[in-house]
Amino acid sequence: MKGYVTDLERATIENEDFRRVLFTGPNTQLVVMTLQPGEAIGLETHDGHDQFVRVEQGEGFAELDGKRHPLSEGSAVVIPAGVAHDIVNASKDARLRLYTLYSPPEHPEGTVHRTRREAAAAHA
């Protein structure tokens, strides 16, 4: 595909999947994610790429190398390669909806993980 255009706010807010890859280019990948109440992406470190996260809906926190940073609608997080990180939905009753950019891509093109459990099984 030569480029990609979407209403990203709408795509993020309407997404019901834990992870859905929207676009994969040679150097960048666009992914929407929805975390259920109390759910976390899971602590991870990417040695080979940087990551950008923007929250469209909900509240939670980002953990970067052990330090917590509050997140709410409009928050952005830049995660350089090598930084241990997690994104957590701190709500007990609302979803946290975000999009993320990986540079270079992290997941196979077209990846859809309906649940965190499905995502964990795919990376096992």
> CATH number, domain at 35?
2.60.120.10
- Let me know if residue 1 belongs to a domain: no
Q: What is the pLDDT of residue 115?
A: 93
- Let me know if residue 2 belongs to a domain: no
Count of domains in the chain? 1
Q: Is the pLDDT of residue 1 over 90?
A: no
Strands 112-113 and 76-79, sheet pairing:
unpaired
Mean pLDDT of the chain: 95
Domain that holds residue 92: 8-122
- Let me know if residue 3 belongs to a domain: no
What's the burial of 61, exposed, middle or buried (CB within 10 Å: 0-12/13-18/19+)? Answer: buried
**Which parts of 3-114 fold into alpha helices (H)?**
8-14
Q: Encode pLDDT of 60-103 as tens digits.
A: 999 999 999 999 999 999 999 999 999 999 999 999 999 999 99
